[in-house]
Amino acid sequence: MQKKSLIKIFNGVEKYYDNENKIIDLNQLAYIIATTKHETNNTFNPIEEAYYLNWKNRKKYFEDMYDPILGKNEKRRKMAKDNGNESGDGVKYFGRGYAQLTWKNNYIKMKDKFKIDLVNYPDLALDHELAISILIYGSESGSFTGLKLSKYINSKSVDYYNARRVINGLDKAKKIETYAKKIEKCIKIK
């Protein structure tokens, strides 16, 4: 199962870079694959956040984390508002895909980039090809957190640990750094 999923990821990476007329940095590719490993709970398939919970518990979790009215505290409510969520959006714009695309503003950005209506149909972020494109574009452009992958991984330096800031602060940064180093070795085998 993982082999088929990885093939889909690599095909999606190739298509993305062909469409953008760009060449991928192999260290950035290693980091992107490491991120998919972590964010998909080792499945390498686009997933929904907290997929392991029943819907009642997921709904409560999404409201606590992403709703500007029902958020569990002022910090979470403010974060929801700052990221474009309105009342009821907590259960609509939760994490999906390889990057766990979250927040209405991010769904809008990806809709604008890829010309696919993710705002009205957020589950489209679960499509393999679109999910990898979202992860790459969001990482390269800095649209997830305001930080670009090239700040941490470029021709002069490779900092897999701090590259995590591009996706989600330093949450699980050491773990993902370890994955990226192993994947880098595999990618560079000739």
145-181 confidence digits (pLDDT tens): 999 999 999 999 999 999 999 999 999 999 999 999 9
- With 90 as the cut, is the pLDDT of residue 99 above it? yes
> In the chain, what's the furthest Cα-to-Cα distance?
54
SS3 content of the chain, % helix, strand, coil (to 5): 60, 5, 35
Q: 188: pLDDT confidence band, cut at 50, 70 and 90?
A: confident
Beta strands in the chain (DSSP E): 47-48, 96-97
**Interior angle at CA 41, CA 55 and CA 79, nearest 5:** 60
How confident is the model over 47-77, as pLDDT tens digits?
A: 999 999 999 999 999 999 999 999 999 999 9
Q: If you ran DSSP here, which 8-state letter would residue 39 be given?
A: H
pLDDT at residue 190, rounded to an integer: 57
pTM for the structure as a whole: 0.95
